Structures are given as structure tokens and as C-alpha cells.
Amino acid sequence: MIRVFSGSDRAKIAEEVKKVLGEGYEVFDGENLTEMDIMNICVGSSILNPERKILVKDLTPVGKKESAVDGYAEMMKYPEVRHEIVIWETNLSRKKTYKDFIARKDVTAQKFDLATPANARDVFNIFDVALRDGPKAVAMLEKIEENNDPYQFMGLLTKNAIDKYSFRYGAREKRILKELSELDMQMKSSGVEPWSLVKGFLLRLSSI
């Protein structure tokens, strides 16, 4: 199995590497690999170590010279890899060879990015729109959800609802706070994808 990890959350990637490879794995610097090195990584083994655990750092690009081999193109030459290999990319390739490589059945690619703190103004705007038009609010959320954390977003939603209740003390504001409390519990315990729960709340908000 081959896994490709990338993204800005280096701590999470390091955690995943340890989870997959455990202790005592081999480490290779992709920039210094030759064609023979890549062949050794893919198919090389010994009687004492028939199935290896390998971490390759930055296979893209392989080497610092313009004439350096394309690491992913080289790995494509070996369709049967029995070792456990993790490739940790800090500069993800946009080459076609990379895209072809991660399309292989024995390859999985995962990106781990640090969540960007939710922008309070964006959250408040979405909340205000959802009070009148749930589908429009969901459409607004979908434009920013990729770069935000659902739990941070939920926290700002709750703060906005509390502020509105403190200002008006109305029955509707009280019902909204109750719904948010239930939503918070669902996000922590239901196992349903958090953004789906948030969107469901936004769709219901205009009728609360």
C-alpha cells in the first residue's frame, strides 16, 4: 500500500505517519533519489526484511537539477508494490504523472491542512441570512467551508445567537439557543459529518 500525505498540518501528518508505519521505518529524501533508489524502494527486499516500511520525503521533484528523474513516473513502472510506503509531500506536484500515480488502485492521497479560524463577520452574515433564507445561507457557507473548521463556526454561531437573545430576550431567540444546544451535542456525539449538521440547522432556522 502506498499513501501520499500533504498539507500544512505537519503535526497531523507526523501522527498519521507513525500510525501507518509504527517504529523503525526507513526514511529516504526524495530530492536525492536516483532511478535505482526508486526501484529499490518499490521492489527491493531481503530474506530478513521481505516487507518494508518506508517514508519518502518530498518525491516531487526528485533531485534539484533540471535533468533529475520524475519520481512519480519512475514509481509508475512498478505496479505491484508489497511494501508499506508513505510519501510526505511539502510541495505537491501538479504534474500529470502525479495525478496518474494517485489514481492507482494501491495508492491513497490525503491532505491535512490546518483549519483557518472562522471569520466572525462571515459567520454573522450567514446567520442573519439564514433567519430569512436557509438555502441562500447554505450556499454562502459552501463557499467558505473548505477553509474553515465546523466547530469554530458553531462557536461563533452560538455567540451571535446569545448576543441577539441578550438584546431582545424574545421567544424566537430562546428557541434558537435551544436548537443550537442540541446541535452542539449532535456534532460531538452523533457521528454525522459536522458540516451537514450545521447546514441542516441553517435550513431550519427561518422556521424556528
From residue 105, alpha-carbon distances to 6, 31, 100, 101, 109 in Å are 19, 25, 11, 9, 11
pLDDT higher for 60 or 109?
109
pLDDT for 156 beyond 70: yes
In three-state secondary structure terms, 75 is: helix
Pick the residue with more confidence: 169 or 139? Answer: 139
Q: Is the pLDDT reported for residue 36 higher than 80?
A: yes
131-138: long-range contacts, CB 8 A cutoff, minimum separation 24:
131/205, 131/206, 132/206, 133/206, 134/202, 134/203, 134/204, 134/205, 134/206, 135/203, 137/202, 137/203, 137/205, 138/199, 138/202, 138/203
Instruction: Give the containing element (helix H, strand E) for 86.
Output: strand 84-89
Answer yes or no: is pLDDT of 67 > 70: no
pLDDT of residue 93: 66
pLDDT of residue 56: 93
pLDDT score for 63: 43
Tell me: pLDDT of 21 over 70: yes
pLDDT at 192: 85
Percent of the chain residues topping a pLDDT of 70: 92
Residue 154 pLDDT > 60: yes
Q: CA-based angle 152:156:157, to the nearest 5?
A: 115
Is the pLDDT score of 138 beyond 90? Answer: yes
